[in-house]
Amino acid sequence: MTQRHLRFLKIVTHSVESVEVASSAWTRWLGYRCIDAGRLDARLCATWDTPGSAGCRYCLLQPASGAQVFIRFVENGLANSYTPASYGWCATELLVTDPDRLHGALAASPFTYLAGPTNLFPRPKAPRALQMHGPSGELLYFTRILPGGSRYGMKGARSAVDRPFIVPVGGSSMADLHRFYGERLGLRTMAPTPFANGIMANACQVDPRTPFLMSIAPIPGRRFLIELDELPDGLERRAIPAGQLPCGMAMVSFTVDCLEDIPVPPRARPGRMEIPPYNGRRTAVIEGPAGEWLELIEGP
């Protein structure tokens, strides 16, 4: 039986120009709270192989539900140059209770409207989503799941804006994405299906009705999904400033049972970190086929 290595989605990390701008918007308008902040330890940056990030400001935010799934902002001091029309992590999808009410509540906020709220599928109890840009350019999907409304058994939000639960990654080859997440990391991958994504189509400068191949890789436990998107040829990989994290949606962190069991070499030697949410556990970073960074945190 294939070992499924990824256990739990722990952190979504965004590189931003200003931690203060990002964190103040999320705490005021989305109900998140800051549970840790400061400057990045050189030892943590060594495990990421990002020596240029040592000393950069960061903050760790937790949703109002108390879920142990976090948003982390790391300041790189660079004006936002992120676009989802590049290979790598594309968007952060968050559970919400009412996307229509949230749309109204964010009208005067620094979050920028893109699309929705709309039902994602033409069926009763379909997920309903609102798409917006955050103040640092982060692409966000705010999604409501009703009881019985998810074919993957996903549960709904426990606070108005709750935890990340889906992380889409875009690459040039669905076959490569399936090999990495299915064969190497052991996740069950669904057969690809065409799906119209107007926001991504506009970003890629193609007809908004253009279908993209999409697949799903559920993480065991029915709490998280990785969405695999095949994007048009010719896009660039995410920009990475020298010695720092990738721009935009930089990295997604998952828990694993044992780092030595992972059949992908890490970027640098694993290290043990005491700060939240590592709390004494080892961590390391690997790269996926689209250049996306996955941080792997050892332990339950």
Query: pLDDT tens for residues 64-112?
Result: 999 999 999 999 988 766 676 799 999 999 999 999 999 999 999 999 9
**Which pLDDT does position 202 carry in this prediction?**
79
Amino acid 152: pLDDT: 87
Per-residue pLDDT reduced to its tens digit, 197-237: 777 887 778 888 888 899 999 999 999 999 999 999 889 89
Closest CA to 15 of 101, 120, 92, 67: 92
Q: What is the pLDDT of residue 110?
A: 97
In this prediction, residues 45-67 reach a mean pLDDT of: 98
pLDDT tens-digit map of 234-278: 898 999 999 999 999 999 999 999 999 999 999 999 999 999 999
**pLDDT value of position 81:** 62
Cα-based distances in Å from 190 to 149, 174, 289, 297: 18, 11, 18, 25
What domains are defined for the chain?
Answer: 8-298 (3.10.180.10)
Write the DSSP string, 177-220.
Answer: HHIIIIIIS----PPPEEEE-HHHHHHTTS-TT-EEEEEEEEET
Residue 80's closest CA among 132, 135, 142, 13? Answer: 135
Determine the straight-line distance between the first and last CA of the chain, rounded to whole angstroms: 21
The residue to which tokens 């040039």 are assigned: 172
Would you state the pLDDT for residue 3? Answer: 79
Give the chain's mean pLDDT: 94
Q: What is the 8-class DSSP label of residue 96?
A: E
DSSP 8-state code for residue 99 = H
| Burial zone of 147 (CB within 10 Å; 0-12 exposed, 13-18 middle, 19+ buried) | exposed
What percentage of the chain carries pLDDT values higher than 70? 98
Determine how many CB atoms are found less than 10 A away from the CB of residue 168. Answer: 22
Which pLDDT does position 231 carry in this prediction? 93
Average pLDDT over residues 22-44: 98
Structure-token pair, residue 100? 């229509």
User: Which position has the token pair 């780092």?
Assistant: 259
How far, CA to CA in Å, does 80 sit from each of 46, 219, 250, 251? 25, 31, 12, 16
Check whether 1 has a pLDDT greater than 70: no
- Can you give the pTM of this predicted structure? 0.96
When pLDDT is averaged across residues 37-44 and rounded to a whole number, the result is 98
Segment 176-204 shows an average pLDDT of 91
Residue 183 has pLDDT above 80, yes or no: yes
pLDDT at position 2 is: 64
Residue carrying the six token digits 């701008």: 21
3-state secondary structure of 29: helix
Question: Judging by DSSP bridges, how do beta strands 139-144 and 161-171 pair with one another?
Answer: unpaired
